[in-house]
Amino acid sequence: MPFPFYDRLTPARQRIYRASDAIARIDIANIRTLAPQVQQIERALATANRAATEQACQALVNQLNTQLKTPAVRVRVLERRPSDDYGELHGLYEPDNGGKVATVTIWMRTAQKEQVVKFRTFLRTLVHEMCHHFDYEHFRLAETFHTEGFYQRESVLLKELLGEPVFDAPKAPQGERPAAARIDGRRGKPAPRAGAAKPAAKPTLKPAPKPPAAKPATVVVKRPVRTPNDAS
């Protein structure tokens, strides 16, 4: 069932939403080979070493992009999460608009107590932001929406990276891309080519609806895709 904001989308953007919702996983053939990079993130985070954690995250992201043949992403790991009346900001995805390399920013300490974020929550945030990247660059969607399918492929990728069993997610569709990938939902024009500017989303002041399971909700604000509050 679509989230409530689906009804406020234009018909073209609804097609993009449905295309996203239909994709349950991101198939990575050699994902087990990424275990050392995941373990390195856990070790670095445990030492509260920001630079080492950033380096470990960059290594994992590089391998993910290599496996999927998607463009590079620069990872930034910062210290204390920004916060406001709506909660703490966990992560931020900025597409490669203007010819720049796409950037993922994540924070490693909570806003209030400045405690190091738990490893699973930290890794989920990194995976979440990369799923936005894969929406654009792997699935060729013109926009990246928070759909049930989005949260499912986030969850599946997280479990696979952690070596946990995945029971109920079908393989991602192969061959022809989703029809919505060929439509820019805001203008009804062809979707941007790889490397072209990604469409700016309308600002939203409240977090997007959460799925039934507790996962990091996110807010799309202009071009960046922000991941704010949940329990660490």
What pLDDT is recorded for position 97? 83
Query: Does residue 185 register a pLDDT over 60?
Result: no
Produce one character per residue of 117-145: b if its CB has 16 or more CB atoms within 10 Å, e if not: bebebbbbbbbbbbbbbbbbbbbbbbbbb
Confidence of residue 85 (pLDDT cuts 50, 70, 90): confident
What pLDDT is recorded for position 199? 54
The residues, ordered by sequence, that sit 6+ positions from 133 with a Cβ below 8 Å of its Cβ are 70, 73, 93, 95, 102, 104
Question: DSSP class of residue 89?
Answer: -
What is d(CA 81, CA 100) in angstroms, rounded to the nearest whole number?
A: 24
pLDDT in tens, 211-222: 444 333 343 333
Considering only CA atoms, give the Rg of the chain: 17
What is d(CA 126, CA 65) in angstroms, rounded to the nearest whole number?
A: 13
The chain-wide mean pLDDT, for the chain, equals 80
pLDDT in tens, 88-119: 999 999 998 888 899 999 999 999 999 999 99
The residues, ordered by sequence, that sit 6+ positions from 132 with a Cβ below 8 Å of its Cβ are 93, 144, 225
